[in-house]
Structure 1
């Protein structure tokens, strides 16, 4: 277990500055989007420093309204870090083979076995994902404070924090209202990472043949998922449909972990 935590700490250290950069980028983009939107709305009614043009009756503008009108800013602030994390699912393995003296050789030869290496990389990915999710919750609190400081008094209108959160379509995807949807979204993300890890280890184990095997393996799993999603079109009860989907999901998760551990312990080399 100590070997696992050391490897996990190593993965976190190697990515920490990129992580900090993504967090700062998200905060800056979202704060800028909110400030620009409030400024534009205030200018529409000629409001400046608590005054307004004669004869102009401004509409109220709540924090939820601001968030709802800055969908583009939120998308820009979130999708770029998401793209970086998706790319890092590949980089977290392949960068260890770069260079004249691959770092992968030392990792695979470490005492304590190779299984902790696999789970350390897997845990690191999800630690980064949920760190970004936690940041988004903190960012919403910062944005609400920004709203209170920047919005002219004539425009302010109270709104619930949850209303503001779910005024953003992006936030609905990141943190769904229903727990079952949350499990579905992040469960599929978890399975996706497992399948990509298994595909990478196939390629690293068999090289050229491994690329073909990885493509076939991923295609098979995707096909099974599509078929599972179509099970609601059959004459099945809702509980039976859920059982079919969960069974296929569980088999794919177990299969990806089993294949990955078999490859990393018995086949893969630096």
Structure 2
């Protein structure tokens, strides 16, 4: 456990500077966006009211009120989130290939550490999940501040009564932060399995060279097939199974896929990858 924690700390520190850059990008973009979107709305409102000689009630009747959703759906809010997701997706591959192709082939130093090699796998897997959860947590903390920014610019009469809890009505937020523990385990459990399968596929490619690419692709497709098998079975049987039965089948398949990914990775690290 001690060696695992040291490896985890090491992996987090390797990405920390870029991680802070991503956090800074999200904060700056969304804060500026909240101001730009709010001021833009008020400028358009003033212009329309002045040009058409409308009272506030007449304007609201014709054009409606401002919703915080206008900001949530703007490029100021979405682009930094999707960019950060893309960077983390790239890092899922980079976290391994950097060790092989970086300076001094660092992977060999890692593999020679006096600890179980699978600890390296778990440390990298945990790092990815911590980075993802860290960004999601930060976004939760930013929302109330952004609501205050919007409220300070747009008068109450021109906007809907929006609170922090209304964010769960937005589809994108339901994916980022599920509002039930079961959904949280489901969504992020799927993400964990995906990363684990990708990690194992990378180790397969590293273990068998060119033919390893083909084996890794086949392995990835088989894992995906096993995972969605209960869903396809239920679809082809015209909803024969109860929702709970489908959920339990998916849960069992998920455990099988995750367990096999870890077992294969452990086998490859022990017996196929040499230093």
Normalising by structure 2, report the TM-score: 0.88
Q: Equivalent residue of 1:44, what SS? A: helix
- 2-structure distance, mates of 1:195, 1:201: 10
Instruction: Tell me what 2:2 maps to.
Output: 2
Residues 204, 213 of structure 2: 8 Å contact kept: yes
* Alpha-carbon shift at residue 70 of structure 1 (Å): 3.6
Aligned ranges 1:21-170 → 2 under 5 Å:
21-46=21-46, 53=50, 55-57=54-56, 58-59=59-60, 61=65, 65-73=67-75, 74-99=77-102, 101-152=104-155, 154-155=157-158, 158-163=161-166, 165-170=167-172
Deviations 1:178-203 (A, max 9, x none): 43332221111111001001101101
Q: Equivalent residue of 1:176, what SS? A: coil
- 1-structure distance, mates of 2:227, 2:24: 36
* Alpha-carbon shift at residue 30 of structure 1 (Å): 1.7
* Alpha-carbon shift at residue 2 of structure 1 (Å): 1.4
Residues 206, 212 of structure 2: 8 Å contact kept: yes
* Alpha-carbon shift at residue 69 of structure 1 (Å): 4.5
Instruction: Tell me what 1:214 maps to.
Output: 216
Residue ranges of structure 1 left out of the alignment (5+ in a row):
none
CA RMSD of aligned residues (A): 2.1
Q: Residues 153 and 137 from structure 1, CA distance in 2 versus in 1: closer, same or farther, beyond 3 angstroms?
A: same
For the pair 1:189 / 2:188, whether they are aligned, the reply is: no
Normalising by structure 1, report the TM-score: 0.89
| 78-87 vs 221-230, greater mean Cα deviation | 221-230
The count of corresponding residues between Structure 1 and Structure 2 is 263
Aligned ranges 1:247-262 → 2 under 5 Å:
247-262=252-267
| 207-216 vs 240-249, greater mean Cα deviation | 240-249
* Alpha-carbon shift at residue 244 of structure 1 (Å): 1.8
Residue ranges of structure 2 left out of the alignment (5+ in a row):
none
Q: Residues 12 and 138 from structure 1, CA distance in 2 versus in 1: closer, same or farther, beyond 3 angstroms?
A: same
* Alpha-carbon shift at residue 269 of structure 1 (Å): 3.0
